[in-house]
Structure 1
Amino acid sequence: MTKALDIVFLGLSLSSSWGNGHATTFRGLLRALNKLGYRITFLERDAPWYALHRDLRDPDFCELLYYQSVDELRRNHQQKIHQADVVVVGSFVPEGRAIIDTIASLCTGQFCFYDIDTPVTLARVAQDDCDYLARRQIPYFDVYFSFTGGPTLERLKSEFGARRAEPLYCSVDPERHHRDGNTIEWDLGYLGTYSPDRQRSLETLLLEPARRLPDRRFVVAGSQYPLDITWPNNVARIEHLPPADHAGFYSRQRFTLNVTRTSMIAAGWSPSVRLFEAAACKTPIISDRWPGLDSLFPASAIQTAGSADDVTRILLGQSDRARLSMARQAYSLVLARHTGAARAYEFTSVLTQARQINPALALDVESAA
């Protein structure tokens, strides 16, 4: 590599994982890119909510800087953006439309979008109800990276005018997510921030089985759950679980539950980071069903459920030998294909293949990858 490439990310939040799955995704990708030799800057809106709940104040893999307005972003960071080899704007960035227009006027390197919420984004863009991305802006990007693969990628190009649409799923860091020495405490657990469109599935696939199996133990970890939810007595609650505690949490479960948002089930090919984290901890997974799941995890590596009966049958009927065999297969698959290092390689490979504004950039990216 002739020089270390400068990559600037603008995302929802890197500093806080409180009610924010984006942080985990960015941390894994940026950490892996840093190990490849890239110089990374993350620009984050200094939002009060995240400021009160920061669990990563001084990352060792990137420079983390804050701004309070679009004007301040331009005033304080325009040189960094202008000189960057690659600039990536993420979904749900506050005032994202204005941010994208500002970046487009400053960026001289590759300009990309990283959509961690693709089905939600496209539904809002189609209704002109998306405050972080406008339909007219999608063709601005050299690459539209999407958390959703499958048919959605072609739709991005044919319907929304994306020049290039590529999947860039979430990932796991095996150095931080691995099985520890904790003993099993719960028969089934779930980790996720409250979402109204996931709550029905959580009710069906965890709370109802808990009522049917009062002698078994269950747990739900995550913030923002309404106070009027009635939790069965055998369901423990953890209000917030920082990323550093995820591995220990998964290691204490016989099975973990994966529940997917309605829009992502409809689009398919939208894996949650929880799938990869649990598999890296060798915790057997029970997932809801959606198109594309079998392209990520074969049937021998995961259990799927559509009803409380399915979950109850799995909890009562699967032997420990079969359960652990399934977990080992998922573990091997995730370590081979779904680590931060794998995503960093995919990211840089796509940048190499894409048409470059600056032809020299392609050589640098290819050398670094």
Structure 2
Amino acid sequence: MTKPLDIVFLGLSLSSSWGNGHATTFRGLLRALNTLGHRVTFLERDVPWYARHRDLRDPDFCRLRYYGTVDELCRKHKRVLQRADVVVVGSFVPEGRAIIDALASLCTGQFCFYDIDTPVTLARVAEDDCDYLARRQIPYFDVYFSFTGGPTLERLKFEFGARRAEPLYCSVDPEWHHRSGNAIEWDLGYLGTYSPDRQQTLEALLLEPARRLPDRRFVVAGSQYPHDIAWPDNVTRIEHLPPAEHAGFYSRQRYTLNVTRTSMIAAGWSPSVRLFEAAACGTPIISDRWPGLDSFFPTSAIQTAGSADDVTEILLAKSDRARLRMARQAHSLVLARHTGTARAREFTSALTQSRQIRPVLDLGVESAA
């Protein structure tokens, strides 16, 4: 893009990272867009559960505004939305279907969707059980940006009718994520909100190794874990870790564990932001296995594991020299390809390529979902 853009995002939450991995992704992308000279506004539904846990109330890289209802959004922020060069609606936005219908008629610039949950979204859309996106709405968007790449992009176009599907993976901000200088406290750690479909893998790849290695130290950080989980004595629990503390957390681990949701494993090409954060901090990574992982990290830059035996062997057998050599390679890869600046440039490049006369759309009101 040769001129600064006015870009409006509507996402799950920018202000709160509590149980909300979207916040980290949006913050990195928006900060980079601002650095590149674009003007960014983020519109967020004002809901009590995020209001109670806001850790970014006044960002210096965008305007953050709130709304209460779809009607208030269109009335209070009408001029901002109409003047924008680009409006991007994110996945899991409350009342997303109604918002998309309203904005498709209101917006005069490019209209895009940013799906940070693509496999989940497509499964729900296929069953007509998605409250933030309808199948009929997918062709509305000039670009459907997807957190998942690989074959899913072809599905979006040929099965769901997306006019243009582009990967827009998560990213990392090197100014926030770097080696902190903290001493190593834990042999293996994990950062992530509780998810039932990740828990079995966390049990196999961290809790069971902790039981087998009582003299080693482990840590799990994240909110919403059930109270009945039997944590081994050598596993430290941190209930919530705000983004500002992530670098220090990773820097205190000999290894960090990446665990992927079942739907993301099935789709492949769905890297977690935690992979990039840990690599930027110079922390060696042990990941579960999924298609496409090697397109982000070659085998020389990451360890993979499918069982407690695998993890135990890595923790006991890998030398510090080999461990740090692996981490240095991952660090170099991430800084070269997966920063917020790299993503912001990919985002604006896709907008340039997709600029076209928008087709006349069928914006009829759908039946109640």
Per-residue deviation, 1:355: 3.1
Q: Distance in 2 between matches of 1:49 and 1:339?
A: 30
SS of the residue aligned with 1:181? coil
Q: Distance in 2 between matches of 1:49 and 1:357?
A: 40
Q: Distance in 2 between matches of 1:91 and 1:327?
A: 32
Partner of 1:74: 74
Partner of 2:343: 343
Matched, 1:227 2:188: no
Per-residue deviation, 1:356: 2.6
Percent identity for Structure 1 against Structure 2: 87
Matches within 5 A, 1:1-369: 4-357=4-357
SS of the residue aligned with 1:220? strand
Per-residue deviation, 1:180: 1.0
The amino acid that maps onto 2:263 is S
Any idea what the Cα deviations from partners look like across 1:258-312, whole Å, max 9, x if unmatched? Answer: 0000000000000000000000000000000000000100000000000000000
* Contact 1:206/1:308 (8 A) holds in 2: yes
Per-residue deviation, 1:2: 7.1
Partner of 2:365: none
Per-residue deviation, 1:4: 3.0
Partner of 1:366: none
Can you give the 5+ residue segments of structure 2 that lack an aligned partner in the other structure? 359-369
Can you give the 5+ residue segments of structure 1 that lack an aligned partner in the other structure? 359-369
Partner of 2:361: none
The amino acid that maps onto 1:63 is R
SS of the residue aligned with 2:226? coil
Identify if the C-alpha distance between structure 1 residues 324 and 2 changes in structure 2 by more than 3 Å, giving closer, same or farther: closer
Q: Distance in 1 between matches of 2:229 and 2:310?
A: 23
* Contact 2:180/2:251 (8 A) holds in 1: yes
Q: Distance in 2 between matches of 1:207 and 1:355?
A: 50
Q: Distance in 2 between matches of 1:294 and 1:19?
A: 28
* Contact 2:268/2:292 (8 A) holds in 1: yes
Q: Distance in 2 between matches of 1:248 and 1:106?
A: 44
Partner of 2:366: none
Q: Distance in 1 between matches of 2:4 and 2:347?
A: 16
Q: Distance in 2 between matches of 1:350 and 1:3?
A: 15
SS of the residue aligned with 2:77? helix
Identify if the C-alpha distance between structure 1 residues 279 and 2 changes in structure 2 by more than 3 Å, giving closer, same or farther: closer
Per-residue deviation, 1:71: 0.6
* Contact 1:25/1:273 (8 A) holds in 2: yes
Per-residue deviation, 1:79: 1.1
* Contact 2:110/2:355 (8 A) holds in 1: no
Q: Distance in 2 between matches of 1:271 and 1:335?
A: 15
Any idea what the Cα deviations from partners look like across 1:306-325, whole Å, max 9, x if unmatched? Answer: 00000000000000000000
Q: Distance in 1 between matches of 2:355 and 2:237?
A: 49
Count matched residues: 358
The amino acid that maps onto 1:91 is S
Identify if the C-alpha distance between structure 1 residues 315 and 105 changes in structure 2 by more than 3 Å, giving closer, same or farther: same
Q: Distance in 1 between matches of 2:111 and 2:3?
A: 19
Per-residue deviation, 1:78: 1.1
SS of the residue aligned with 2:88? strand
Q: Distance in 1 between matches of 2:226 and 2:108?
A: 46
The amino acid that maps onto 1:303 is Q
Per-residue deviation, 1:357: 3.5
Q: Normalising by structure 2, what TM-score?
A: 0.96
* Contact 1:110/1:357 (8 A) holds in 2: no
Q: Distance in 1 between matches of 2:193 and 2:40?
A: 28
* Contact 1:109/1:357 (8 A) holds in 2: no
The amino acid that maps onto 1:143 is V
Any idea what the Cα deviations from partners look like across 1:30-83, whole Å, max 9, x if unmatched? Answer: 000001111100000001000000000000000000000001001101111011
Partner of 1:361: none
The amino acid that maps onto 2:130 is C
- Across the aligned residues of Structure 1 and Structure 2, the Cα RMSD in angstroms comes to 0.9
The amino acid that maps onto 1:14 is L
The amino acid that maps onto 1:162 is A
Any idea what the Cα deviations from partners look like across 1:197-237, whole Å, max 9, x if unmatched? Answer: 00000000000000000000000000000000000000000
